[in-house]
Amino acid sequence: MNNLENFSDGEPSNTETVEAVQPITLVGHFIQGGLVSKTSRTQAVYHPATGAISKEVALADSDLVNHVVHIAQQAFPAWRDTPVIKRARVMFKFKQLLEDNAEKLCELIGQEHGKICHDAQGELQRGIENVEYACGAPEFLKGEYSKNVGPDIDSWSEFQPLGVVAGITPFNFPAMVPLWMFPMAIVCGNCFILKPSEKTPSAALYLAELLKQAGLPDGVFNVINGDKQAVDALLHHPNIQAISFVGSTPIAEYIYRTATSAGKRCQALGGAKNHAIIMPDADIDNVVNSLLGAAFGSSGERCMALSVAVAIGDEIADLVIEKLTHEMQQLKFGHYTDQQNDFGPLISQAHKDKVQAFIQSAERQGAKIVVDGRDAKPVGYETGFFVGPTLIDQVSSDMTSYQQEIFGPVLQVIRVETMHEAMQLINDHEYGNGTCIYTRDGEAARYFSHHIQVGMVGINVPLPVPVAYHSFGGWKRSLFGDLYAYGPDGVRFYTRRKTITQRWPSTQIREAKQFSMPTLN
């Protein structure tokens, strides 16, 4: 979902004994219930608002990954056999600890991602809702039972855990996306290894500490920080049963192909290009307010960000652009601690350069830059990784900036004549993650929601992110795999069905030999 690879941006520095030579904090791993920091390789973690190195993160190698998998394997039998109500009680305690320590978690997110505190709070709340859903495990793991499916024969299905599973998560949601994965996997009886983004590693370690405080046995949940070397070790390890991934489409496809080739279950959520169709009858003031938050919130570093507004007719396009231009002048961006800011910086200098290059390519290919955020320099944070809110008009479907995911605070406007033309644009795009339509016309909304080839659809809802008891996922090249993330699909992904059929034969009746297929006739 993020447009950056979840692998290292640069060459790690090599040290013999990190603890003895590093002048700044070293972020390590969480293994078998405790923090482990010794490593031979590290990578810088930046404070995006200042551009300065704030920490170093330890990078796991294949030997460490093998060690952690072994630890998780040892923990699995006892955790699998722990009654499901006791596993759920851990999640209830974990939920309370998340709420009690929300301020600390949001601080870690802000420090490493740059996300404004109010946005980090929203991210965390969405993650907590997934923990709440996981607390219902005694209900959704009950299985199914049928009596007398044949003469004195009963049959039932059980949902059993897979074993050791792993998750690889992106920088843009350091708490929420991991919480999509491991609470469900763990409450279903699996052991989980999390590999968070090396750009934002600290929130995951804090989640692990809180889970330990909630009573989770050591070894059931482990966190390893790392780059491609760690990812590949997880993908190829024969005792990892399943991989969950969220990131960019090229990496999602690599993860899915590699994991499935190794015989693993895999769900890999990729990129997006989310369109909003603006119908002539839409409430334009509400549309503009929705677009501002959906396009520029979290600096556009969301897989569900609305990055393309498709206006039906020039009159609507002109009006929307006029109102957007005025409102965008009022937007504030800067340091994560200032609650008055609407959004913060991008994650890295490399990503800032990439977003600016997309803006330049749109201008070069004939689009009109209405509001230009390329020279954004908040007072006091001139060296941060900032791009201001950017509005681009006269965009066409053959432009690079339209075809690819920008993943920044950039909103593009495409003008079309009809709703069918707008829908064709969306259906033709390689991504099918999210979309929405603004209209007062119920017939148009119903037609749109039925025929649009996108996995998550909003009607006057700009960010149609499903709640925790539904499931999250796109179509086309936005998702590789058959099952969505979290919700009911999460239960299915982290368990496998076993169906048992039994008969206790009567001592009084001798069964006859039977060579044909058994039936109920």
The residues assigned a catalytic role are: 303
Helices (H), 145-261: 176-187, 202-213, 228-236, 249-261
- 218 is written with which tokens? 């050591």
Q: Decide: residue 80, CB within 10 A, 0-12 exposed, 13-18 middle, 19+ buried.
A: middle
Q: How far is CA 250 from the centre of its chain?
A: 15
Do the bridges between strand 144-150 and strand 153-161 make them parallel or antiparallel, or are there none, so unpaired? antiparallel
322 contact partners, CB below 8 Å, separation of at least 6 = none
70 contact partners, CB below 8 Å, separation of at least 6 = none
Cα-based torsion angle of the residue sequence 83, 84, 90, 91 in order, rounded to the nearest 10 degrees: 180
- 332 is written with which tokens? 């504030």
Helices (H), 311-411: 314-328, 349-364, 400-403
36, 122, 139, 257 from 102: Cα distances, Å = 24, 11, 28, 37
Residue 158 phi, psi (nearest 5):
-120, 155
Distance CA 29, CA 71 (A): 14
Report the 10 Å Cβ neighbour count for 292. Answer: 21
* Helix 102-113 with 84-100: angle, nearest 10 deg: 70
54, 95, 102, 174, 206 from 108: Cα distances, Å = 12, 18, 10, 9, 9
3-state SS class at 374 = coil
Distance CA 223, CA 35 (A): 9
67 contact partners, CB below 8 Å, separation of at least 6 = 31
Q: Order of strands across the sheet with 368-371?
A: 368-371, 390-393, 410-416, 306-312, 274-278, 434-438, 456-459
Nearest to 243 by CA among 173, 317, 167: 167
Report the 10 Å Cβ neighbour count for 413. Answer: 23
Distance from first CA to last CA of the chain, Å, rounded?
53
200 contact partners, CB below 8 Å, separation of at least 6 = 45, 109, 112, 113, 171, 174, 347
Q: How far is CA 134 from the centre of its chain?
A: 17
Residue 238 phi, psi (nearest 5):
-65, -20
* Helix 249-261 with 228-236: angle, nearest 10 deg: 30
* HSE (side-chain half, CA atoms, 13 Å) at 100: 10
